[in-house]
Amino acid sequence: MQSILWKALSAKKQTNKPGKMRLRLAVTKGLTTIGLGVLVCMGSSSVAFGEEARTPAEITPPRGNLLFLTTHATGTQNYICLPSTDGQGTSWVFFAPQATLSVPLFDHHDQQVLTHFLSPVPNANSSPEASCTLSSETGKVSCPTWQSSLDSSAVWGGKVGSIDAGLDASCPKAGAIPCLLLNAVATRRGQIDAGLMGKTTFIQRLNTSGGAAPAGSCKVGDQALVPYSADYSFYRAEHEDSGKSDR
């Protein structure tokens, strides 16, 4: 696999030869479709295709979905202080994640492959999924988003299951944010074909650490960016079809 990546990169550098545009497109497509596989397979054995963690039923994708990528995320869970719904005091309310997701490269350093944030869902209806928000000002639904750093393909997720941290070996650190299963409520194709994330069906958040809302009182408008880390696993349908993205 290492030789495949080296040949592709070497070919891309030969920009003065005839057919360079066709070659560049071929290299880009190759790196989009197999490049991440190269990165993952050359990394440590803890991050590889087909290595599925044993998880409780609440956060396990249904049969017919296959793991294609596992990453490690570091970033923040972001909260804002708002008046409590009962009108008594204030409370911290989660409003967005912000993280980078990486895989190990050559066992020496981490290679960023995804970014994680909150963004509007393409073609969403006005009924938001769990973990998503509906803006009263714009009428747009926003959901947790994972965007490829390789080809800009993306997936938006809505929560379908969760377990509290500390209750299972896949989510061992009590006091951290919950571990989750999210389904793909929308996807976006990459620069070439479906891209890395364009056929995602489910996302797991496992091995969470930190990220919980601050304790105690707060002043309306205050914000807290709480550091966290987690492992995210991404699944595709076992038998992929040519269904539309941006669904």
Give tens-digit pLDDT for 54-63: 999 999 999 9
- The better pLDDT of the pair 27, 82 is held by 82
Residue 27: in which H helix or E strand, if any?
helix 20-30
Give the model's pLDDT for residue 126.
67
From the list 205, 186, 177, 105, the residue with the least C-alpha distance to 147 is: 186
d(CA 175, CA 166): 7
* For the chain, domain boundaries: 2-41, 57-237
On the question of pLDDT at 100 being above 90, the answer is: yes
Residue whose structure tokens are 């050559």? 106
Give the model's pLDDT for residue 243.
45
> What are residue 22's phi and psi, to 5 degrees?
-60, -40
- The better pLDDT of the pair 134, 232 is held by 232
- Tell me the average pLDDT across 97-126: 89
CB atoms within 10 A of CB 35: 21
Asked whether 140 and 149 are in contact (CB, 8 A), the reply is: no
CA trace torsion 239, 104, 78, 201 (10° rounding): 0
How many residues in total does the chain contain? 247
- Tell me the average pLDDT across 158-166: 97
Q: Cα–chain-centroid distance for residue 170?
A: 17
Q: Read off the pLDDT band of 87 (50, 70, 90).
A: confident
Q: Read off the pLDDT band of 123 (50, 70, 90).
A: confident
Give the model's pLDDT for residue 139.
85
Average pLDDT, the chain: 81
- The better pLDDT of the pair 40, 151 is held by 151
Give percent above pLDDT 90 in the chain.
Answer: 60
Asked whether 228 and 208 are in contact (CB, 8 A), the reply is: yes
d(CA 36, CA 57): 29
Q: Read off the pLDDT band of 226 (50, 70, 90).
A: very high
On the question of pLDDT at 5 being above 70, the answer is: no
From the list 97, 44, 92, 129, the residue with the least C-alpha distance to 224 is: 92
Q: Read off the pLDDT band of 221 (50, 70, 90).
A: very high
Residue type, 9: L
From the list 174, 153, 150, 170, the residue with the least C-alpha distance to 34 is: 150
Q: Cα–chain-centroid distance for residue 65?
A: 16
CB atoms within 10 A of CB 139: 9
Give percent above pLDDT 70 in the chain.
Answer: 75
